[in-house]
Structure 1
Amino acid sequence: MGDPALSRRGFLAASMAAGLGATALSGCGGDSDGGSSSGTTTIEWWNISTTEPTKTVWAGLAEKFEAEHPTVRIKIVQLENDAYKSKMTALTASGKLPDVFHTWGGGVLAQQVEAGLVEDLTDRTKDFAAGLLPVAKQPYLLDDKVYGVPFDIGMVGFWYNKAHFEKAGIGTPPTTWAGFLDAVRALKSAGITPLALAGKEKWPGMYYWAYLAMRTAGVEALRKAEDTKDFTGPGFVDAGRHLEELVDLRPFQKGFLGAAYSSPTGQAATVGNGRAAMELMGQWAPVVEADAGKGLGRDLGFFPFPEVEGGQGKITEVFGGGGGHALRRGAPQAAVDFLEFFASETTDRELVRKTGVLPVVPAAESALGDRNLKAVQTQLKAATGFQLYLDQAYAPAVGQEVNDSVAALIAGSRTPEQVARSITKTAGEAQ
């Protein structure tokens, strides 16, 4: 998902120094007992699970962990996606991170690590992290060291309303960009809003440009551009032009520029309530659609982002990522124990059954029953290439510029060429 710029800052404050151990206070201002004279260690756990059923399930897991560890208290701080990222930016700048915190890995985590704010988990988690799916661990590996433990992995694709497709005469989901644009036109002709978009939050729009860049320039070009700090190649400009083609069809719901993602009138609810035929979103989409709206039940389907004719990318190359947890530098052993608890087969099975995540523990795969999530998993297993979310893979300032520039293109205030130049300029300045 999207992520704003995080500043490079210095080392953690003296509370992180060696010798404090389990007596260190919480990384967020000392609200926790931190193993004080009361004999209780309080672990502050920051996450973005604000929607149901995940919010309740995660609270239950914290209670279960506390029951198994009577001297540990879990203090949960749950914030909506953008609010979380904004708060974490401020905390990073202050040099104080929560004991346990949500991370998407990639460039944001790398800068936090470089600032000396994140615990190296290579040795502290090796006994249990070795058994997790390798692809799920990749975003949290930096210089062959482990800085996070995944609880989810997945990909972005199109979630669609089968009944709307049938009404519009679309027999099968499109596999080419030209076919996708034709499907959009068919839906509009049938009086159906083709796509829902949370334009206010910017990161959902980025998914379109990112996938189109993968399909036109290719996955390797995205990685090379990160190194060369140059996004002005024809493949990247073409990605913007293809997105312009879509925008020119006016495919999004009324008021999309001011729409949030998970609000009652936002992107997920618009699809979940049948007011739009599709959304481009990650594997969590069905859960959020059902929470924010009614959900589509058996009318909900999934298909991968189409190929672009003449492009360098393939439909089997996927864009996405997952969620993980990292620890502040100097976090007590109880925080590591909590990561081990969260990465266990028992916990993963519960997460798969109740919250719709894809398993990161291979033994938990049998708990996956939803047909659409099985389809996502099949795509992931057959993937011939994988690209982490751009606003996570790249340095934070670059990722934010991708989000901002693409949002401006979708709003009609920036051209494909301007998007490419703006990202390149920011990448050069971020060196």
Structure 2
Amino acid sequence: MDTITLSITLAAAMLLMLACGIWVALSLIGVGVLGLLLSGNDQIGLLYATSSWGATTSWSLTALPLFIWMGEILFRTRLSEDLFKGLSPLLNGLPGKLLHVNVLSCGIFAAVSGSSAATAATIGRMTLPELKERGYSERMAIGTLAGSGTLGLLIPPSIILIVYGVAAEVSIGRLFIAGALPGLLLVSMFMGYTMIWAKLNRNELPAHDGTKISWPEKVIALRKLLPIVALIVFVLGSIYGGVTTPSEAAALGVVGALFLALLSKALNRKSFVDSLLGAVKSSCMIGLILAGAHFLTLAMGFLGIPKSLALWISAMTLSPTELLIYLTVLFVILGCFLDGISVVVLTTAVVLPMVQQAGIDLLWFGIYIVLVVEMSQITPPVGFNLFVIQALTGKNILYVARASLPFFLLILLAVVLITWFPEIVTFLPNNMSGK
């Protein structure tokens, strides 16, 4: 078979397995086995063992389960609830009032969780009932949550950035630093849009959202935010300052989260065990996906697919911009059916040679791919985050998709902005030290 026929065969096999409901990791392994059989190689067991060991023993990956555990501790204790109580009084004076709590709560929780679905689910459980009770537009409440929930993929420490860093052999510390400004850009765009919407739709906001809040009350509310903000500064500051590696910072973050949970009397035997089991389940799932993707990459290497595709793209003489447009469409389509980590591990083996051939900076490309995957998580009508929010609200999926559409477009605008002005991504990594 020629390369194109082999590629179509493997892609069709992958789609068939996924359509049958087979786990992503097992589908990757199955397609890898098929690829090796087509290449005439029968050392499947030996190659799988070797590739799995190589995929899962990188020291950089130790940060992954630790950051997941840190987010699980906060998710299962009272610390996440303090976010809403602490932010509400501080944001009541802005146009849009408490709708901004969704945006900032997601931004802050993303900085200690690293998971998009966990961010949307955790913040949504707290904010949606409260906003509905106070008379806010339900559609806008859902929209701000859907858009801001995706921040868990970008704002460091991001699990997907760790996965990309390992796959592309890019410094995870530099990727974390690079994600800071684009993350703040998205938060600013979401809050700016919310303010404009509030000015144009005053009738969909409560006329009087509580009594006037005094400064002493705001200071008391601010105290509820201090523990989580201190944890964020502690973890990210140590990475940005070059004091610790991401793995060391993750370990310190877990200790810090346990200490805060214990100090607030929110940590008990049940919450500790639940957080540990949740972290183990998520880490094992991601680890199996990584092992499967590495095995598939090996099989594709035997077939010569990555090299052939890179040569094909090179022969097409696409400009870097044209290549990014094609890749954006590809990632958005894949993101409609798969979670973000699966999209990254499925595509990096094929895409990275093309990207390098086009002369695109792999550090910048890491932030670009995360932004596009964020966008795919709320792609109407089948984005992954849309299903999370549908489960929370019980609303029709098309209703949730319409509510999130403006935020989908805002993320698309952010992709355009970092393409036109790549310094948004590269400025901090090039001007800060990091391990």
Is the pair's TM-score, using the shorter chain for normalization, greater than 0.5? Answer: no
- Compute the TM-score of the two structures, normalised by the length of structure 1: 0.30
- Compute the TM-score of the two structures, normalised by the length of structure 2: 0.30
- The structure with the largest helix share of the pair is 2
